[in-house]
Amino acid sequence: MLMTLIQKEIMHHVLSVRFVALLVMCVLLIPLTLSINYRRYNQNLVDYQESVKRTQAEAKENPPNAQDPNVEVSKFFLKPTPLSVFANGLEEALPAYLGMTRNGVRQGSTGLGQAALSYALGNLDFLFIVGTVFSLLALLFTFDAVAGEREAGTLRINLSNSLPRDVFLWSKLIGGYAVFVIPFLVSFLIGLLLLVWQGFPLGEFNIALPVLVLAAISLLYIAVFFAIGVFISTYLDNSKTALIIAFTFWVFAVLIAPRGAFVIAKLVAPTRTEQSVYTEKTVLRNNLMKDKEDKIGKKVAGTFGTTLILNDPKTQERLGEIRKPIEEEFRVNFRNQTEKIDRNYQREKDRQEQVGEMLSRIAPTSSLVYCVMNLTQTGKLKRDLYFQTGERYYSQLDGAYFSEISDDTLAQMLQLANRGNPDAKSEKNKITPPPTLTEPALSETLRRSASDVFLLCLFALVFTTVAFLKFFRSDI
């Protein structure tokens, strides 16, 4: 009996205008979007490689002079990931590079500066298609599953026979879902074949497994909205009212709740700007530098008086002994206070983000977005790894290069006195080359995504259960 009803439901949907719209969306949007985004990825990869080569060539021709604390002596570039063809995520919002200065890590420009208008209109990628387009189509497939039958009077006729209510409702869910996912999966497969033909490395395990999980998560998300559509349909007698309620729910769950959560988070937990933090550290350095120069000046005046011969090796050795403890004190104070500033700022940002994430997860679309961005290495996990690697690189430079540079007046005088000395070490040889950004481990990616997968399963289970309970108790 169940199979007969499922076949009937499938034929009902296949012969409807909604199925034609779904078919057109699947065949055109998914393969075309994946192909276009892969070309965009290739262009971003070329831009990344050219930027790295240009920076290396400039460093060889003109070694950076780190006497200026704002000069970027090295740049750590963000390499684009192949999985960004499925979800652009935070990739364009992240800085193209992290510049290493004596005042700290300075962020380079983002891709948004070159395409601000297109970013305002939104990204057309696989995540957008599933999260926005297919969620709406899933509701359009199910809003009249029960309400339409009740309005037409066929529900009373069907249930007057020996037809269990659970079998009837399962046929609506399974039949509609089967009609929906088959074109989706076929078009997704076509899109993958098109990507492979263009050179996409789908054969690699760390690419193939996330893509497989991505397809499964998409099917689960569609199932959530099928359950929501049936839930709405069981509570209403009129299909037009059900359509209005379904569309209203979609607007709230897909368009308003994910964005509104972070608007509320900014009001509840405000933060400072990146520029204000960088300015605060610059002011701190200037103040500590002034104190350091005063201490060195007093110590030199008390030791040498008015006679100071900089070309004398003994004098230079004695000056080094005077400067060393004061310089070390300056470095320790500056490092401790800047670390405190960074910790406070990071704490503010983390709190705001946690509030926004927590509030946004009331909608299933947010769980889909977070999960897909982690799987495609364009989300929070990749962002945190990028900045953490940049901080570690800065710590290496600070210990091997920045710690030997001083910009007080006496240090500049000694540098001029030693200019042209063949025994002096080359500045550029002290700069550690930028590290390679490693991709997040697949196990860590799946672990981070587990909570969002659980929430999607919970949404599907809750809405399905409530729909069945309501249908069992309703009068036909």
pLDDT, average across residues 272-279: 84
Supply angle C-alpha 320, 323, 327, rounded to 5: 130
Mean pLDDT value across the chain: 85
Contact (Cβ atoms closer than 8 angstroms) between residue 95 and residue 110: yes
For residue 55, the one-letter residue type is: T
pLDDT digits (tens, 9 = 90+) for 404-459: 776 655 555 555 555 555 444 444 456 788 888 888 788 888 888 899 999 999 99
Token duo for residue 189 = 């497969």
pLDDT digits (tens, 9 = 90+) for 304-345: 766 666 666 777 777 777 777 888 888 888 888 888 988 899
Hunting for tokens 């395409």 — which residue is that? Answer: 115
Q: Work out the percent of the chain whose per-residue pLDDT is above 90.
A: 40
Q: Which of 209, 187, 213, 263 is nearest to 371 (CA)?
A: 213
CB atoms within 10 A of CB 475: 3
Task: Say yes or no to pLDDT of 476 above 80.
Answer: no
- Cα gap 222→180, rounded to integer Å: 9
Contact (Cβ atoms closer than 8 angstroms) between residue 50 and residue 42: no
Rounded to 5 degrees, what are φ and ψ at 79?
-85, 130
Q: Which of 179, 150, 152, 165 is nearest to 8 (CA)?
A: 179
CB atoms within 10 A of CB 149: 20
Rounded to 5 degrees, what are φ and ψ at 125?
-140, 180
pLDDT score for 238: 87
CB atoms within 10 A of CB 172: 25
pLDDT score for 429: 52
Q: Which of 132, 94, 12, 155 is nearest to 380 (CA)?
A: 94
pLDDT score for 424: 44
pLDDT, average across residues 195-215: 93
Query: Where does the pLDDT of residue 282 fall: very low under 50, low under 70, confident under 90, or very high at 90 and above?
Result: confident
pLDDT score for 150: 85
Report the predicted TM-score, pTM, of the whole model to 2 decimal places.
0.84
pLDDT, average across residues 199-212: 92
Contact (Cβ atoms closer than 8 angstroms) between residue 406 and residue 323: yes
- Cα gap 466→476, rounded to integer Å: 17
Q: Any residues with CB less than 8 A from the CB of 200 and at least 6 apart, and which?
A: 38, 82, 85, 192, 207
CA distances from 254 to 138, 234, 368 (A): 13, 22, 11
C-alpha distance across the termini of the chain, in Å? 21
Contact (Cβ atoms closer than 8 angstroms) between residue 224 and residue 460: yes
pLDDT score for 395: 86
pLDDT, average across residues 259-272: 91
Contact (Cβ atoms closer than 8 angstroms) between residue 34 and residue 191: yes
167: left (phi over 0), alpha (psi -120 to 50) or beta: alpha
- Cα gap 37→428, rounded to integer Å: 39
Q: Which of 382, 392, 391 is nearest to 448 (CA)?
A: 382
Within 13 Å, how many C-alpha atoms sit on residue 379's CB side? 23
